[in-house]
Amino acid sequence: MNDIIDGLMQIPARISPKYFYDAKGSALFEDITRLQAYYPTRTEHGIMIAKGREMAREIGEQRTLIELGAGNCQKARALCELIRPSHFLAVDISEAFLHDAVAAMRLSFPKIDIRAIAADLTTDFVLPPDVPEHGRLVFYPGSSIGNFDLPEALSLLKRIRALLLDDGALLIGVDLLKNETVLYKAYDDELGVTAAFNLNALDHLNHLIGSDFDTRQWQHRAFFNSAQSRIEMHLEALTDQHVHWHHGVRCFSRGERIHTENSYKYRVDDFVDILRDAGLTRTQVWTDDKAWFAVMLARP
């Protein structure tokens, strides 16, 4: 938990977006994915439906499917229908939510060997030793890779590359640069679901470090930073306040912000270059008609 306190003490303060995801945060994210304004889930799913057969031919059957940041496993569900893997490992930091999702997957796919792995991808996480080494397919949808600055993204992709061994592949969802209004609305919806999701991080911190954040004293902020090609989400203090935790305190002035998330938006060629730098040299790309989102299959 030291990283939380270190981040809160910085000026400007920041926390990792992984702290959105307690059980309530995961459920709120699921609500976000159903919003009309939140195009990424719908668009990525649409690509997988439209191009699914072609993808399945490229990927092949009887793979060991490993989904990173699996959440409700909704996209793995579609992929399992397409490629019928022999094994499915769902990896996520939000443990209770993951276990419920995996229990539902076991009911739907009784012939697949299905396991939940609670792990933090930002650490050097390792797979259990008995995971088959042959034919691994790592699936990282939702453009979650966009939450990382370039050095972190590259480091994670290199660790994924190592998991693939010789004959594995990575299927990754990447959100693309587009009209700013479309982007902005997806991260600041009119119903306030994204605001509730962002604010919930403070309740999660209260639980993790024993702090006394009062969510009524904060508001959601989201904007597109065009110089960095990323959506930024922040929480902004509505009043001057002191936030306490065990052996610590941070004074926030009215208007001061905590940076909670970046979501980088890429050009296809730029992301293909990043994959190449991570050792994934052979990439196929599928996009939707508007070129809002890309699903990429990358191999060593």
Ligand X SMILES: C[S@@+](CC[C@H](N)C(=O)[O-])C[C@H]1O[C@@H](n2cnc3c(N)ncnc32)[C@H](O)[C@@H]1O
Q: Which residues bind ligand X (CB under 6 A)?
A: 18, 21, 26, 29, 33, 41, 69-71, 75, 92-94, 120-122, 141-142, 144
**Integer Cα distance of 93 and 131 in angstroms:** 19
Please say which residue, 101 or 237, places its beta carbon nearer to ligand X.
Answer: 101
| Nearer Cβ to ligand X (120/167) | 120
CA atoms within 13 A on the CB side of 79: 31
CB of 44 to ligand X, least distance (A): 7
Least distance between ligand X and beta carbon 18 (Å): 4
Q: How many residues does the chain have?
A: 300
Minimum separation from the CB atom of position 62 to ligand X (A): 23
Which residue type is seen at 144?
Answer: S
Q: Which residue has the tokens 């995971």?
A: 131
Pick the closer one to ligand X by CB: 141 or 168.
141
SS3 label, residue 74? helix
Q: For the packed helices 39-50 and 74-83, what is the interaxial angle rounded to 10 degrees? A: 0
Give CA–CA dist 185/79, Å, rounded. 28
40 Cβ contact list (under 8 Å, min separation 6):
142, 143, 173, 175, 186, 293
- Decide whether 197 or 213 has the Cβ nearer to ligand X: 197
Question: Which pair of tokens denotes residue 95?
Answer: 């443990």
- Toward ligand X, which CB reaches closer, 51 or 217? 51
Closest distance between ligand X and the C-beta of residue 255, in Å?
28
Rounded to a whole number of angstroms, the minimum distance from the CB of residue 273 to ligand X is 23
